A and B are shown apart, each in its own frame.
Chain A
Amino acid sequence: MMVKDRYDIVVIGAGPAGSVAARYAAENGASVLMLERDRESGIPVRCAEGVSHNGIAPFIDIDKRWIASQIDIAKLTSPNGESALMHNNGVGYVLERRIFDTALCELAAKHGARLITKANALDLIKENNKITGVKYRYMGKTCEVKCNIVIAADGTESRVGRWAGINTTVALRDIDTCVQYTLAGLDIKRDTCEFYFGNEVSPGGYVWIFPKSDSTANVGIGIAGHLSHEKGPKEYLDEFVARRFPDATITYTMYGGVPTAATLKEIVKDNFMIVGDAARQVNPITGGGIVQGMIAGSIAGKVAAEAVKKGTFDAKFLKKYRKEWDKTLGNTQKVMHNMKEKFLFMTDERFNNLVSFCKKIPSDKFSLKSLFTEAVKGDPKLMLDVAKSFVVSKIKLK
């Protein structure tokens, strides 16, 4: 494969956000290079792999190759063991992200984007303070590629944004520290995702069971960073697994972090954009970031291609991406972030009452809207915000 020394756009990171950005930029006429540090996009999988059908369908034709299970039911369990079932939240999937992420890269390539794997971006190239390219390490060599726009899609770490002068540091309370096992030998329902709440179970977060087959599942936990002490996420998860699945076999162990903040204040600079986890574009309550990243990527990719056509690469023009993002999801994310603060301080009793309340709603009428509205009861401003955000965009679980 020939790699040129100049492209219109260089995308750093080939996760869902990066490859969708690359695809839309290429589709709209720009020349695009993607740099991916790992040997393959999508591995190691650091994800519970849950998405909604409506979230991913606009971006890729649904393919059995990367779907492990179809989810129709969400089951919420409170600290006292009561459960409520939610049926009408739309169809969801548990993905095979290893295959899914690669499929998104292939789609970007089909539209003309180039990809180099095992290429670790080291720094931005700046000339007279202007970003003009990327320095990266490939096969023991330090290489340079020039471009007009860099799109940072480097995930949770988000170092590239720092190189551009954007503060991407997340506060401890705004990151969930996570452990996940893939377990085998389970007796579970393949069409049901389960969520467990409570300060003893998972302080400031939740435990999830996302089935990958009738007998295997991603079982993981995220706890709020500032609540992780001597007892960290692994200790909590091990307790849960010992209670719920004492005979299971762990076939995969993975650690990770999910930013549960609002979108970064700055997501564009002259010649620079930032998308996905790196821009903290994650649903702060569910921790879902796949669809969010793809939506952000599609907007950023289109705006970047427009900039190339016009030959205008300053922040003023690229801010179109910010505007469009806020309208689509950014504003909703802000509301969700305020709501997450509420969840952080919820007592177990409140969780119990919440699930009791939800249980009384017929499962085919029970939706995230009813759950959230009840959760913020007593806070009129937040209630109004939640109602508004449901009018603006239908929020899907994950």
Chain B
Amino acid sequence: MKIIHEFCDICGTCVAVCPVDAITVTEFKVEIDNEICTNCLNCLKVCPAKAIVECE
């Protein structure tokens, strides 16, 4: 999963639905650890800003 930082509002919604805690947040940035991510697509589905896309 990849975050388009230009769209991301750092709202944390994706974090709440990630079953494996692959997403971390600071005051300025949200990041996905693709080593942990299981590609379940939950985060992509709920992101209100459509800031998450699948990696090529």
Contact = CB atoms under 8 A, between A and B. Distances in A.
Interface of A: 37-39, 46, 118, 120, 137, 155-159, 162, 168-172, 175, 177-179, 225-226, 228-229, 232-234, 254-257, 259
Given A177-B47, A229-B45, 8 more contacts: A39-B27, A118-B27, A137-B26, A155-B12, A172-B45, A175-B16, A175-B17, A254-B11
A177 B15 contact: no
A233 B48 contact: yes
B21 interface: yes
What are the 7 A-B residue pairs with the smallest beta carbon separation, nearest first? A257-B13, A157-B12, A157-B15, A255-B9, A255-B48, A225-B46, A177-B48
Contact of A38 (B11, B19, B27, B50): B27
Contacts of A172: 17, 42, 45-46
B19 A232 contact: no
A12 B16 CA distance: 16
Interface string B6-41: 000101110111110100111100000000000000
Contact of A170 (B9, B17, B47, B48): B17
B16 A157 contact: yes
A226 B26 CA distance: 27
B48 A234 contact: yes
Given A172-B45, A225-B46, A232-B50, A257 B26 contact: no
A362 B12 CA distance: 42
Contacts of B13: 156, 175, 177-178, 255-257
Contact of B11 (A39, A137, A228, A255): A255
B16 A259 contact: yes
B31 to A, nearest CB: 13
B4 interface: no
Contact of A169 (B18, B27, B47): B18
Interface residues of B, number: 21
Nearest to A230: B50
B17 A232 contact: no
Nearest to B26: A120
Given A156-B16, A169-B18, A170-B16, A257 B27 contact: no
B21 A159 contact: yes
B4 to A, nearest CB: 13
A255 B49 contact: yes
Contacts of B46: 172, 175, 177, 225, 228, 257
Nearest to A38: B27
A178 B24 CA distance: 20
Nearest to B7: A255
A233 B16 CA distance: 17
Contact of B48 (A120, A226, A229, A232): A232
Given A232-B48, A255-B49, A159 B17 contact: no
B50 to A, nearest CB: 6
Nearest to A120: B26
Contacts of A255: 9, 11, 13, 48-49
Contacts of A120: 26-27
Contacts of A137: 26
Contacts of A171: 17
A229 B19 CA distance: 20
Nearest to B15: A157
Contact of B12 (A179, A225, A232, A257): A257
Nearest to A46: B11
Contacts of B49: 179, 234, 255
Nearest to A119: B27
Please indicate which of the listed interface residues B19, B45, B48 has the most CB atoms of chain A within 10 Å of its own CB. B48
B30 to A, nearest CB: 10
Contact of B16 (A39, A46, A158, A229): A158
25 contacts: A37-B26, A118-B27, A120-B26, A120-B27, A137-B26, A156-B16, A157-B12, A157-B16, A157-B25, A159-B15, A159-B25, A175-B13, A175-B16, A177-B46, A179-B48, A179-B49, A225-B17, A225-B45, A225-B46, A226-B45, A229-B45, A234-B48, A254-B9, A255-B9, A256-B12
